[in-house]
Structure formats: structure tokens, C-alpha cells
Amino acid sequence: MLEFNAQTIAFIVFALFSLGGALGVVTTRNLIHATLYLILSLFGAAGFFVLLSAPFLAAVQVLVYIGAIAILIVFAVMLTRSMTRISDLYNRQWLLSAIVAGILFVVLLAGVIVPVWGVNGTQIDRPVSDVVAGTVDLGKALVDQNQYVLPFEVASLLLTAAMIGAIVIARDDQE
Amino acid sequence: MNEVVCSINHVVKCLTDAGVTPDLANLLTIIGGVVLVATVPLITVIFLIWIERKVAARVQDRLGPNRVGPFGLLQTVADALKMLTKEDITPIGADKFIYNLAPIIAFATVILIWAVIPFTPLHIGADLSIGLLYFVAVASIGTVKIMIAGWSSNNKYALLGAFRTIAQLLSYEVPLVLSLLIPVMIAGTMSMQGLVHAQGGMWYVFMAPVAAVMFFIANLAETGRAPFDLLEAESEIIAGYNIEYSGFKWGMFMAGEFMHAFTASLLAAVIFLGGWWGPGVEQVPVLGFLYLGLKTFVVYLFSLVLRSTVPRVRIDQLMALNWKWLVPISVANVLVTAFLLQLTKALGLAPQTGDFAAALPQTIILLLGNLAIVLVVLNLVRNIGRNERMAAAATDAAVGHSEDERVAVGAPGH
Amino acid sequence: MIPLWMYLAVAAGIFCIGTYGVLTRRNAVAILMSVELMLNAVNINLVAFWRYIEPLNMAGQAFAAFVFVVAAAEAAVGLAIIIAVYRNRRSVIVEDVNMLKW
């Protein structure tokens, strides 16, 4: 079902990046390493966006997640430095959580795969369009008054509020 | 764009004629292109270091390297060989894998930028539709390398240096991105080739001089060049985040830095100085290499002379310059330019064709807007400077200090 | 082309790993990282559905962009809260932060 070409190889590599990185994030004791795994995982997701012909989102993913959020997390880890190595990695309900996450994964996977093969085991072939809207269309959609201009404005308001909130919360009152 | 595909197809065709399967031929062509684009900066960096040392020497009334090879040209090669023979130290307690990863990332992030630089109308690694955003994204990975280099060295000075550097890089990314918005708004595209094509009538340095200057300053800070080189300040502190690195790994950091500075000049030439445009370039596309090289060299030379003439700024001055001056000015610049662009469109003055005369009215209007911004800023600087001088004079008069005892407090913009 | 369900399966995997991290990690920063993973998995889903089902309707990409914004805001405020808590309690372990428990 998978033909062997560059796209497939790229997909497998990115899948390994994002899944392996995600596993590293939740299992690593050292938080700096966990952040680097997070960067790896996010990088894999950026690769997915490229494969899905959404280059703008891929670039923004690298810019926002890796360039800003990951660095922010590293700063937080270092500012709360004594806590980078905690004796107990997980809390007491880790077994229960693992079971819950496992069941969730099985359910999601079933929900993803069953519709593909149908009930009687025949794969439904949905044709994929080659015509894809580009970055220009995304930009126009975001400021089109019939589409997403209101969410866009709300998002910028949210960012402003988050900025002010972060400064107020993290500020040292002694000064 | 079509011609690029054609020229690649030409190579592919040759390969398929020689009996290679089409898929493999495609792959080989792409790999060949990648190797070619990635090797050019590696070769140039050797000469860049020589040029830099020569220029700095001339400014400081010295001779510079002149022993190894003609005019000392091989000095860098000798230095590289010396670096290879040095002991490669990994500090005890360092995080080995990450410690070794950092120089590679430092090098790779700079080379990756070259993938989207249009050298001629035909020669470009990949003409992405989001080329400019790609540059910003790749440049933002640069903070990661500094962070992990500083942290994995297991040295508190390296860590402190990394913090300072990251603070500087993150801050100056804001005016950098905001100044890049202006050419994107004027050209209506983020593709590098598109940006260069749009400058056929008029270079953007004339349409948006404020943005060009912002880009230049922010890039000086992003690449850690003087006067913003306090993150390694070789005459004051030993080094910054890369203090523990030795031998070839340190060499990779240094070469990456030199290359980054040159790449910044290259980008300035592409985005604001018309890239490969020049007389006769449409008939003979290869001339683009020459024109782009010349323009880049002019920008680079300017930054070199600047580096060896101006003194280093303090960290608080650095931050004040960014957040109190560059960021507000670039935000105002974006607003003014957006307004003026819509105005020219409404008045029907937007260029219809890509020649000089068609671009002239829009250029004049944008230039006037830029002039207004510059006048307002200069007036502000003057007022602030005068107020500070008068306040200082008042305290002097009250305390009775002599003139030379006073610490000179310039306006933050200086 | 890669079938759609493979993207969805990978995204489901990331989401569940993130869920596990949120439920089990004791360090608040690690929990925040796991939340980022979950948001990221959702983003992959949004973009994959956009590409395979409605590549001309920008809803998928636009929502992914909004998820970016929310993730950035969440990271900024979340880390500010963690630093504020650390300053008061000298700890970033979520079990130690029980002032609002009663």
C-alpha cells in the first residue's frame, strides 16, 4: 500500500522524530534533555507540514515552537534549577495513567483505521486533490471579513493579554 | 522559475540518457545541488577571514597577515591546520552528545540559509514561496545552538554567556522581522526570487531606507558583530557561551559566525539592494553572480569598517536601543508604509510595469513617509539628549563638580 | 501519497504520549511540555484533514494557526505561573502546590 519513494522515507523519518521525541519528553529525567526531545518532536511535526504542502505553517512551527516556546521552557527550567532532577519522575498513579493512555490510543487508532478499511475489510479509495490553496489564500482568509477576521483579531487580543499577564505574574514584587 | 526547472531537467536528462532511472537521476541532481550550494560558503569563509583581518588591520594602521602565501592569503588555511592539531577538550561533567552537537548546529543553521538565496535569475537552491520566512525560521534555530552550547559545557560562565546572548538574539529578532515585513508588503510576496524580480524598477533601499537600516542594525546584533559583540567581547571577557570549546569545534563556531555575518550582508543585498539586478543580466544571467557579489561585498565592507571603528555598547544600552528605539520605530514604519502603500494604490500610482519610471511615484511617496519617521526620531533624540544634558548641568551646578568628573550619559540612541 | 490514516495514527500516538505525560509527570514544566505535545498532535490532525479532504477551504490551516497562537499564549502564561510559584514555594512539583485545595 506504500510505494517506496522519497516522500515515504521522509514521512517515516519525521514520524520517528516526532514519536521518539514525544516518548523522550515524558520519560527523560533531565528536563533540559526533555526540552531537546520536545524540539525534535516539534521538528518532526514541521516536516509533516511540509509533506502536507503547508510550508507557511512549517516555518511558523519552527519559528514559534522551536525558536520561542522551547527557548522559553529552557529558561523556565534553568530558573527553577534545583528541580531539574527530581527523585521520583512520576506520581503514584502512573500505572493507571499508562493504562488510560493506552486505551485512548487503541480507541483513537480504531477510530482512524476502521473507516479507512470499511466494515467488510475493503479499503475506501478517496481521491486526493492536487489543487492546494497556498500561503496567499491563507493570508487572505485570515483577514477576509466573511471568514476568519474576527478570530484573527481575538487571537491578537489573546496574545496581548497573555503578554501583559505573563509580565504581571512573573514580575518580582520587591522592585 | 520555469528556466530553473528546465536547467535541472537538462541534467536529469543527461543522467537518464546515461542509463540511470529517472527517480535516481532526480535524487542525484538534488544531492549535487545541495552539495554545491553548501560548499560555496565553506570556501568563501576562508577568504572572508582574510579580508576581515586585512580590513581591520588597515583601519588600525597595521599591515595584517602578510607572511603565509601571497598577501597572506593562506594565513587562514594555516590557522585551520593549527586548529586541527590542537587538543580537543571535553570538560568533565559536560553533556557529551549535546556538547558535540552544538557546533554542528551552529554551522548548519548558517549554511541552510544559503538554500533560498537567489544568485542569478536561474540559480537558486530552492525558490520557496515562503523564502523570507524560511530565513527567519532557520535563524531562530540559532538560539538553540547557543543555549545547548552554554548549558552542556557545565561551566557557569558559559551558561551566563548563553543567557546574555539569547536575550540579545531574541530581542533583536523583533526589529529584524518587522523590518523584513516592509519589502514583503511592497512586493506582495515572500519568495526570494519574487522579491528580487519586484526590485526591477527600484531597489527597496530607496523605497524603504528606514527598514534597510533597521535590518542592517538588527543583523549586526543577530550575528554578534561590533558594536554588538559584547556576547564574546574578546578584550574584556574571554568568550561567551563557547568558552569551553577548543580545537576544531571552536573553529566551527568561529567559522559559523564569520559566515553568518557574510550571509547577513548577502541577504541585505538580496532584499534591499536588488539582488542580481544589473545591466545586461536578463541576457546573460550568469552576470548575476558578479552583481550580487559586488553588492554583498559593499555591505560587508561597511560592516567590517564599522566593526573596527565603533566602540562596544553596554548590555543595558543594547537592550535600551532595541526596546526603546528600534522596536517602536519599526512598528511605526510598518504602519506608515502600509498606509502609504494603500494610498498609492487608491491614487492609482502603484507601478503597473517593472521599470524605473513606473516605480518612481510610489518611491517618492514612500521616501517622504520614511523621511517623516526619520525627522520625528531625530527630533526625539535631540530633545532627550538636551534634557539629559541640562539635568546633568543642573546637578553639576548644585554639587559643584568639574566638567570632566561627570560621567557622560548619552541619549540611549547613541 | 501517504494515506491519511498514517498521519492520524502518528498524531494519535503523540497525543496519547502527551496525555500520559500530563497525567503522570510531577514537574510542572514537564507537564507544560506534554501539553505542547498534545496541541501539536491536534495541529497535525488539522493540517492533515485540510490537505486530504478540503484543500481549498482554509479552515484547517487557519485553525492550526490559531492553535499556534493559543500555544504561545499558554506557554508564556504557564511558565510565568510556574516561576511565580517557584518563587513562593521553592518547588515546581505540582503536588506541593496545594494552596487552593480546601
Q: What is the DSSP string of B142-205?
A: HHHHHHHHHHHTT-HHHHHHHHHHHHHHHHHHHHHHHHHHHHHHHHT---HHHHHHHTSSS-HH
What mean pLDDT is reported for chain C?
86
Helices B247-272 and B96-113 cross at an angle (nearest 10°) of 30
**Is some CB atom of chain B closer than 8 A to the CB atom of A74?**
yes
Residue B379 scores a pLDDT above 80? yes
For residues A31-67, b (16+ Cβ closer than 10 Å) or e, as one string? Answer: bbbbbbbbbbbbbbbbbbbbbbbbbbbbbbbbbbbbb
Q: What is the mean pLDDT of residues B161-178?
A: 87
Give the chains touching C; criterion: ≥3 Cβ pairs < 8 Å. Answer: A
| Chain C residues inside the 8 Å CB shell of A148 | 58, 62
AA identity, residue B49: I
Identify which of A38, A73, A100 has the shortest CB distance to residue C79.
A73
For chain C, domains (ranges, CATH) are 4-96 (1.10.287.3510)
Residue B2 scores a pLDDT above 70? no
Reported as a pLDDT band with limits 50, 70 and 90, residue B335 is: very high
Residue B26 scores a pLDDT above 80? no
Interatomic CA distance for residues A136 and A142, integer angstroms: 10
Residue B238 scores a pLDDT above 70? no
Residue A123's pLDDT is 56
Measured between CA atoms, the residue of chain A closest to residue C89 is A80
Q: Which of A23, A80, A129, A171 to mutate to test the interface with C (most CBs of C within 10 A)?
A: A80
So where are chain B's domains?
Answer: 1-85, 88-331
Lowest mean pLDDT among A90-94, B157-161, B260-264: A90-94
For residue B284, which phi and psi values (nearest 5 degrees)?
Answer: -120, 90
What mean pLDDT is reported for chain B?
82
Residue A162's pLDDT is 92
Which residue has better confidence, A40 or A139? A40
A73 and C33 in contact by Cβ < 8 A?
yes
For residues C12-44, b (16+ Cβ closer than 10 Å) or e, as one string? Answer: bbbbbbbbbbbbbbbbbbbbbbbbbbbbbbbbb
Residue C42 scores a pLDDT above 60? yes
Residue B226's pLDDT is 74
Please give the C-alpha separations between residue B68 and each of B48, B75, C37, in angstroms, as whole numbers.
Answer: 16, 5, 54
Residue B1 scores a pLDDT above 80? no
Q: How many CA atoms lie within 13 A of B338 on its CB side?
A: 9
| Chain B residues inside the 8 Å CB shell of A5 | 23
Q: What is the mean pLDDT of residues B333-337?
A: 91
A36 and B151 in contact by Cβ < 8 A?
no
Residue B158 scores a pLDDT above 70? yes
C18 and A26 in contact by Cβ < 8 A?
yes
B159 and A78 in contact by Cβ < 8 A?
yes
Q: Provide the percentage of residues in chain B whose pLDDT is more than 90.
A: 11
For chain C, the first-to-last Cα distance in angstroms comes to 55
Q: Do chains A and C touch (3 or more CB pairs under 8 A)?
A: yes
C68 and A8 in contact by Cβ < 8 A?
no
DSSP class of residue B71?
G
What are C93's strand-pairing partners? C27
**Taking the mean position of all CA atoms in its chain, how far away is CA B245?**
24
Residue B166's pLDDT is 85
Q: Which of A71, A132, A160 to mutate to test the interface with B (most CBs of B within 10 A)?
A: A71
Residue B403 scores a pLDDT above 70? no
Which residue has better confidence, A118 or C6? C6
| Chain B residues inside the 8 Å CB shell of A134 | 129
Interatomic CA distance for residues B81 and B52, integer angstroms: 19
pLDDT tens-digit profile of B143-155?
Answer: 888 888 888 888 8
Residue B4's pLDDT is 46
Interatomic CA distance for residues B153 and B155, integer angstroms: 5
Give the closest-approach CA distance of B141 to chain A in angstroms. 6
So where are chain A's domains?
Answer: 1-85, 134-175
In 3-state terms, what secondary structure has residue B228? coil
**Is some CB atom of chain A closer than 8 A to the CB atom of B130?**
yes
Please give the C-alpha separations between residue B106 and each of B101, B149, B229, in angstroms, as whole numbers.
Answer: 9, 9, 17
Q: Which of residues 85-124 of A touch B (CB under 8 A)?
A: none
Most confident of B144-158, C8-22, C83-97: C8-22
Residue B376's pLDDT is 92
**Is some CB atom of chain A closer than 8 A to the CB atom of B134?**
yes
AA identity, residue A50: V
Q: Provide the percentage of residues in chain B whose pLDDT is more than 70.
A: 90
**Look-up: residue for cell 554578534?**
B224
Class assignment of domain A1-85? mainly alpha
C48 and A52 in contact by Cβ < 8 A?
yes
Interatomic CA distance for residues B16 and B11, integer angstroms: 9
Residue A88 scores a pLDDT above 70? no
Q: What is the mean pLDDT of residues B210-223?
A: 90
Q: What is the mean pLDDT of residues B154-169?
A: 83
**Is some CB atom of chain A closer than 8 A to the CB atom of C13?**
yes
* Sign (positive or negative) of CA dihedral B246, B247, B253, B259: positive
Residue B312 scores a pLDDT above 90? no
**Is some CB atom of chain A closer than 8 A to the CB atom of B151?**
yes
Reported as a pLDDT band with limits 50, 70 and 90, residue B289 is: confident
Residue of B41, B50, B34 lying closest to B262 (CA atoms) = B41
Lowest mean pLDDT among A148-152, B211-215, B236-240, C75-79: B236-240
Residue A78's pLDDT is 81
Lowest mean pLDDT among A163-172, B366-375, C52-61: C52-61
Q: Which of residues 175-204 of B touch A (CB under 8 A)?
A: 190
User: Which pTM value belongs to this model?
Assistant: 0.86
Interatomic CA distance for residues B351 and B271, integer angstroms: 18
| Chain A residues inside the 8 Å CB shell of B128 | 55
pLDDT tens-digit profile of B76-91?
Answer: 888 888 888 888 888 8
AA identity, residue B327: V
**Taking the mean position of all CA atoms in its chain, how far away is CA B255?**
15
Which residue has better confidence, B176 or B87? B176
**Is some CB atom of chain A closer than 8 A to the CB atom of C35?**
no
Give the Cβ contact number of residue C88 at 10 Å: 9
Q: Which of C4, C5, C15, C16 to mutate to test the interface with A (most CBs of A within 10 A)?
A: C16
Q: Do chains A and B touch (3 or more CB pairs under 8 A)?
A: yes
Q: How many CA atoms lie within 13 A of B358 on its CB side?
A: 12
Give the closest-approach CA distance of B304 to chain A in angstroms. 28
Contact C40, A45 (CB under 8 A): yes
Q: Angle CA(B182)–CA(B188)–CA(B190) in degrees, nearest 5?
A: 80
Residue B214 scores a pLDDT above 60? yes
